[in-house]
Amino acid sequence: MKITRNGALPINDGFRMPAEFGRHEGTIMIYPTRPGSWGKNRSGALASFGMIFYEILKREDLYLLVPNDPVYYAEAKEFTDLIAKKVCAECGGRLDHAMNIIKIDTDDSWARDVAPIFVTGKDGAKRAVNFGFNAWGGEFDGLYASWDKDNAVPGKFCELCGYEYYDAEPFILEGGSVHTDGEGTLMVTESCLLSKGRNPSLSKKEIEEKLGSYLGISKVLWLPRGIYNDETNEHVDNMCAFVKPGEVVLAWTDNKDDPQYELSKASFDYLSSVTDAKGRQIKIHKLPIPDVPVLITEENLANYVFEDGEDERSVGERLAASYVNYYYINGALLVPQFGGENAESDKRALDILKDIHPGRDVIGIPAKDILLGGGNIHCITQQIPE
């Protein structure tokens, strides 16, 4: 059921977006099929997705959206049945969390950006928000020509799963473009939320009012930039994440010749100069990016099949690799690993995150094949709070 928030902004009806590091009921993901993202041969992407399915299903419910297509549905069902059996075998012969397969057509698999964002009330009630989606920029600089299926995902998901939701359309917002501490502070990047392809008719203040209204936010922190060559206009989830209220990890490099250096330094300087919604100074943990840039190879390029109007790639193109694009699940943290020349970088990232999260399992997930699709672990997941 749709709920409309009327009246002057911001509206405080007691609902607020909780922090991702809080407890989850489950996680929404989308089965990967688009050849322009995952290739003719999807085995690498499926292997990484499967590892993520497995770690989630051990700890919380998984809601997997699959196309309303008999071939893909059968493939996804067989694939997830094998994972569920593996979880059962390792958990005393029982599956404590639900593997929910839901038939919803999508344009791609970026659940973070197309699935609903959930907010919770003081009485434990839970609602969703349906923001508009236009493929990261619409006709101005969107990444594919048609996004109608993705834009319809929140409403369909909520109707099928029984969630009430606020309808925020036509306001455009992707889940990867926001991070919250759960206590009223929201981080975004200026490069994304102020881009011409999102909400060009709205001022910065008006955008803040929308965020306050729908997400229960009292203060927005506007980081200037994100990760170099991030095709989402530099989503914050690739650049900076809350690890607890008043504390963040920030993508970093000490290499002043790397184009990422100035972008990270600008955000570091900004975060060092502001306070959060509770008036706290922000503690910043630097989380170095991979030492060796991850580039598109000829073999990678040959595997893609691009549609008309879809953003294409080129050999030597630098991908937006960042360890900040990790995902919290109950009791654990799923961290991208890029392998090869970045084995040492991978280990360093895990060690840093283990030090910051002593009460969680910090699990490395081979994620280069997800990165080849255009994002990473955080980009393909969306939490449903407990």
pLDDT value of position 266:
98
CA 211 to chain centre: 17
Owner of token pair 């509206």? 11
Q: Which of 359, 350, 305, 342 is nearest to 326 (CA)?
A: 350
Tokens encoding 206: 């008006």
Q: Which pLDDT band holds residue 122 (cuts at 50, 70, 90)?
A: confident
CATH at residue 59 = 3.75.10.10
Terminal Cα-to-Cα distance of the chain (whole angstroms): 20
- 76 φ/ψ angles, rounded to the nearest 5 degrees: -65, -40
pLDDT at 2 over 70: no
Domain that holds residue 129: 2-385
List the catalytic residues: 379
Q: Which pLDDT band holds residue 236 (cuts at 50, 70, 90)?
A: very high
**What span, in angstroms and rounded, lies between the C-alpha atoms of 117 and 237?**
14
**What span, in angstroms and rounded, lies between the C-alpha atoms of 335 and 203?**
35
Q: Is the distance from CB of 36 to CB of 307 less than 8 angstroms?
A: yes
DSSP summary character for residue 78: H
pLDDT tens column, 3-35: 655 433 334 578 999 999 999 999 999 999 999
Rounded percentage of the chain residues whose pLDDT exceeds 90: 93
pLDDT tens column, 338-386: 999 999 999 999 999 999 999 999 999 999 999 999 999 999 999 999 9
What is the tally of structural domains in the chain?
1
Residues contacting 160, CB < 8 A, separation 6+: 102, 104
**What span, in angstroms and rounded, lies between the C-alpha atoms of 210 and 169?**
11
pLDDT tens column, 298-353: 999 999 999 999 999 999 999 999 999 999 999 999 999 999 999 999 999 999 99
CA 350 to chain centre: 19
Does the global pTM surpass 0.85?
Answer: yes
Q: 171: helix, coil or strand?
A: strand
pLDDT value of position 7:
35
